[in-house]
Amino acid sequence: MNTGKCLIIGCGGVASVAIHKCCQNSEVFKEIMIASRTKSKCDALKEKLQNTTTTKIHTAKVDADNVNELIELINKFKPDVVLNLALPYQDLTIMDACLATKTHYVDTANYEPLDTAKFEYKWQWAYKDKFKEAGICALLGSGFDPGVTGVFSAYAQKHHFDEIHYLDILDCNGGDHGYPFATNFNPEINIREVSAKGSYWENGKWVETEPMEIKRVYNFKGVGEKDMYLLHHEELESLGLNLKGIKRIRFFMTFGQSYLTHLKCLEDVGMTSIEPIEFEGKQIVPLQFLKAVLPDPASLGPRTVGKTNIGCIFQGVKDGKEKTYYLYNICDHQECYKEVGSQAISYTTGVPAMIGAMLVMNGTWNKPGVYNIEEFDPDPFMDELNKWGLPWEEDFNPTLVD
């Protein structure tokens, strides 16, 4: 039975947006609990929001690495769904707690072990049978990329193609925060992502590239011309399995020259390493120390101007004819900040997280097992994107990426 209760784990930038959105959507989210290692952050958010909504807000302290603590909290609050907006390293402990309590699970980023920058789904996919047997649903990757990019792909496959042969996912951030160097989301995850080798999916296998080896220039609507680089990204793995007839999938992200120069310098001096070093009698991880020195992504909101443009360019066949189709969203940093006090990077992930939790909670998307977002009917999600602040646009004659 759906009681309208959602437990949200995490209280960073993305969680803050998702929580704002749950509170705007009180008909569905009657009660939420915000749980994090730092309860004061949860309390501050509750304080800010409780007089603006009929959603009842609870807070709790929890260590998301501790399965027993999580189980205890879930049993106490009895949510319909757990929305995991903690760190990707914590996905499995939260999934274990959901299994033990037979509670639906939603996240925005796939599990990666703390000691290797390796984005892949095998660890979470291994839970398929267990979740099926427990009669509960796990929805993986309900952010923007992964997330909306998978919904866009399912929508293109359902309405526009018999077969999709080529997919390019383009993630453009045209925002300027005025700092010489800062990252728009968790620096640890962000820097791990860009300093890892790139790869793309072609003819059923991975083709690996050196970090930032493949560069293209693209003119983005609402932003203009930007340099973009091929990265490995987690949704390529699931889309490679779930798109009919797919021959190649690539993922590109834009980076400015200043960002890359700073990153190169930090790499050269060892600051982006995830290997612990001995410092003044303590073990520290350089990348974690760097994270502490850099501006907190949550503080970038008021200073960031410009827009993001994230979308998918599809090439394939419909009724025996070649076809191209581009589906994208443009989001304005300042508009996001005015509405929820966060910039567009957090907004574009937080809104889909709320939508995914809602669709699992109200039974629209609910089948026992572990699923990537493109395995569900995209139409309800596409409708909600327009309703909750991420309207999508279409282009039937897009410029292709060579």
The model's pLDDT over 43-100, given as tens digits with 9 standing for 90+, comes to: 999 999 999 999 999 999 999 999 999 999 999 999 999 999 998 889 999 999 999 9
In this prediction, residues 282-292 reach a mean pLDDT of 92
Q: What 3-state DSSP class applies to 230? A: strand
Q: How confident is the model at residue 352 (pLDDT cuts 50, 70, 90)?
A: very high
Largest CA distance in the chain: 68
CA quadruple 252, 253, 259, 262: dihedral sign: negative
Q: 141 is written with which tokens?
A: 């990757």
Q: 260 is written with which tokens?
A: 């890359």
In this prediction, residues 209-219 reach a mean pLDDT of 95
At residue 189, the pLDDT reads 77
The angle that helices 39-49 and 13-24 make with each other, rounded to 10 degrees, is 30
- Radius of gyration of the chain measured on its C-alpha atoms: 20
Low-confidence winner among 112-121, 154-163, 292-301 (lowest mean pLDDT) = 112-121
Does residue 188 carry a pLDDT above 80?
no
> What are the CA-CA distances from residue 252 to residues 7, 95, 194, 216, 351 (Å)?
33, 30, 11, 8, 22
Does residue 116 carry a pLDDT above 70?
no
How does the average pLDDT of the chain come out, rounded?
A: 94
Q: How confident is the model at residue 118 (pLDDT cuts 50, 70, 90)?
A: low
Strand ranges for 277-320 from DSSP E: 277-279, 282-284, 307-318
Report the DSSP pairing between strands 224-230 and 215-220: antiparallel
Does residue 327 carry a pLDDT above 80?
yes
Neighbours of 146 (CB within 10 A): 31
Which candidate, 324, 323, 320, 351, places its Cα nearest to that of 335? 351
Does residue 115 carry a pLDDT above 90?
no
| DSSP structure class, residue 218 | E
Does residue 165 carry a pLDDT above 90?
yes
Strand ranges for 205-247 from DSSP E: 205-209, 215-220, 224-230
In this prediction, residues 250-257 reach a mean pLDDT of 94
Instruction: Determine what percent of the chain is predicted with pLDDT higher than 70.
Output: 99
Q: How confident is the model at residue 301 (pLDDT cuts 50, 70, 90)?
A: confident
CA quadruple 160, 237, 91, 271: dihedral sign: negative
Higher pLDDT, residue 273 or 220: 220
Q: How far apart are the first and last CA of the chain?
A: 50
Distance of CA 20 to the CA centre of its chain: 17
At residue 117, the pLDDT reads 59
In this prediction, residues 245-250 reach a mean pLDDT of 97
At residue 304, the pLDDT reads 93
Query: Is residue 367 within a helix (H) or strand (E), and if so which, with residue range?
Result: none
Pairwise CA distance, residues 207 & 209, whole Å: 7
Query: Is residue 339 within a helix (H) or strand (E), and if so which, with residue range?
Result: helix 333-340
Low-confidence winner among 40-54, 292-306, 331-345 (lowest mean pLDDT) = 292-306
